Chains A and B, each alone.
Chain A
Amino acid sequence: MSGARRLGGARAARVQADAGGTPIRIDRHTVTQVRESWLIEDRWWTDQPLRRRYWELVSETGRDIVVFHDLLAGSWFRQR
């Protein structure tokens, strides 16, 4: 049966970060505030471990944005 799929999947994002790794610009949005940041490490016991640094940010338009930095692959993704 097609159509069954997960919601809230991550999609690639263009992120500029400062020297400390904090995002300052996401796609077309400039970050004005960092609300929260947290680290997730999972599946470290498998061949496909997962290590992400999440950031919950507020853009200049007031939009709440969640992005994460894949610390193993080095790429950025947007999740909300």
Chain B
Amino acid sequence: MIVCILLPRFELVVAVGGLEALTGRAVALAPTAGSAAGRQPIGEASGAAQALGVRAGMTLGEALARCPELELVSGDPIAVADAWEQILRRLEGIGAGVESERPGVVYFDASGLRGLYGGSEERVAAAARRAVGVPARVGAAPIRFCALAAAQATRPRRTAIVREGARAYLRGQPVSLLASRPATAPLVATLERLGIATLGDLAAMTRAAVADRFGPAGLEAHRLACGEDDRPRPRRPAELLYESFELEESSYGPALEHALGVLIDRLLARPERRGRTLRGATLAAKLVDGGSWRTSVAFREALADPRRMRLVLAPRLELLPAPALVLALSTERFGAATGGQRSLIAPAVELRRERLREAVRQARAAAGAEAALRVVAVDLASRLPERRVMLAPFES
């Protein structure tokens, strides 16, 4: 049995500072700064806004036309990621192997936990609810898609358990449930326009007909409607290294790139890295307007070279929607440790660099982590002397 825990409007709740702040207010997440000028879709909308016809993904103009008093709040991806990570860790703390598609929705297989929590899905769901610690909708069903449907259909603070087959349960559910999957979401409007209102209607069609009309997305939708879905793929517990840099004044351009360089050096100098390469990193910023920004970067190959990391990460800074107050860098995944093998005829410069690295390691071993620092120009043009240069770990 797969358990789905659903926290509706999670990103909006975090952005406004709590569930209570949404009561009776028509609020929605403002379009992100990267949206195309003509489109500008809004994010999650509160219940009051939805009652006035506002929906997530609607264009800003349409939303304001339907609800002129709509309040728009900036999203806070950093706070959302932190809050969601806390919830996932608490669920992992009860032994659940969690898979999360997006903040607000998490799945885990309850079969391995029944023995721990009294032998029934209800007890497992109750333990998960306690671990989450905030009001949540919980659904349990044989497959993930059906568990999500059950969680969406149940009332807050309730648990819905689907005992019959998934296909039988999904038969009467609306096709709008397919919007929960990125692959099948674009089909919903077309299916509704064609009069295919329920998943039962879709399942009654032949696979060949669905494939002919809708292609691979249609086949995936048909599979889900027939009660077939992949098992949850639990995430691997990640070891997170995090470094942040307070810019003290809203920064952009070269100053921001210098700050990024300092962050990369600090991250690579962390002893917890133990010589391992990085496969990906997350760059985040707190913005001057009170919001935040976050982007994940996967490196084409695992690396631990500060110059190459900077080459990959620096262009992302141009995507910042507003000047930043704090810049942060964290590891996504580690790769293998950097090899100690040398080529038979090593160039002299590489030999010197390796000796220098070894000297730095020895200096740090002898004198502590504060040994071997270098002066980094952060913002030489700043009018305030303390913002111009700083000491950062030396990474050759």
Q: Given that A1-B270, A43-B249, A79-B385 are contacting pairs, would A7 and B373 also be in contact in the complex, using a CB cutoff of 8 Å? A: no
- CB atoms of B389 and A42 under 8 A apart: no
Q: Given that A4-B393, A5-B391 are contacting pairs, would A40 and B373 also be in contact in the complex, using a CB cutoff of 8 Å? A: no
Residues of B near A4 (CB, < 8 A) are 262, 266, 373, 390-393
CA distance A2 to B370 in the complex (A): 6
**Chain A, interface size: which category?**
10 to 19
Q: Which single residue of chain A is at the shortest CB-CB distance from B269?
A: A1
Q: Given that A7-B375, A7-B391, A42-B249 are contacting pairs, would A2 and B369 also be in contact in the complex, using a CB cutoff of 8 Å? A: yes
A20 within 8 A of B: no
- CB atoms of B373 and A3 under 8 A apart: yes
B388 within 8 A of A: yes
A71 within 8 A of B: no
B248 CB to closest chain A CB, in angstroms?
Answer: 8
Q: Given that A1-B269, A2-B369 are contacting pairs, would A7 and B392 also be in contact in the complex, using a CB cutoff of 8 Å? A: no
Chain B: residues with CB nearer than 8 A to chain A? 243, 249, 262, 266-267, 269-270, 288, 368-371, 373, 375, 378, 383-393
- CB atoms of B386 and A3 under 8 A apart: no
- CB atoms of B393 and A7 under 8 A apart: no
Query: Which residue, of A1, A2, A7, has the highest number of chain B Cβ atoms within 10 A?
Result: A1
Q: Can you identify 18 A-B contacts, CB atoms within 8 angstroms?
A: A1-B270, A1-B369, A2-B369, A3-B369, A3-B393, A4-B262, A4-B373, A4-B390, A5-B390, A5-B391, A6-B386, A6-B387, A7-B386, A7-B389, A7-B390, A8-B385, A8-B388, A10-B386
A21 within 8 A of B: no
CA distance A8 to B388 in the complex (A): 8
B391 CB to closest chain A CB, in angstroms?
Answer: 5
A74 within 8 A of B: no
- CB atoms of A40 and B391 under 8 A apart: no
A14 within 8 A of B: no
Q: Which single residue of chain A is at the shortest CB-CB distance from B383?
A: A40
CA distance A4 to B268 in the complex (A): 13
- CB atoms of A40 and B384 under 8 A apart: yes
Q: Which single residue of chain A is at the shortest CB-CB distance from B371?
A: A3
A28 CB to closest chain B CB, in angstroms?
Answer: 22
Q: Which residues of chain A in 13-68 are interfacial with respect to chain B, using CB atoms and an 8 Å cutoff?
A: 40, 42-43, 45-46, 50, 66
Residues of B near A1 (CB, < 8 A) are 243, 266-267, 269-270, 369, 393
Residues of B near A6 (CB, < 8 A) are 378, 386-387, 389-391
B293 CB to closest chain A CB, in angstroms?
Answer: 18
Residues of A near B368 (CB, < 8 A) are 2
Residues of A near B387 (CB, < 8 A) are 6
B65 CB to closest chain A CB, in angstroms?
Answer: 32
CA distance A40 to B243 in the complex (A): 30
A32 CB to closest chain B CB, in angstroms?
Answer: 23
CA distance A2 to B270 in the complex (A): 9
Residues of A near B266 (CB, < 8 A) are 1, 4
B136 CB to closest chain A CB, in angstroms?
Answer: 34
Query: Which residue, of A8, A10, A40, A80, has the highest number of chain B Cβ atoms within 10 A?
Result: A8
Residues of A near B386 (CB, < 8 A) are 6-10, 79
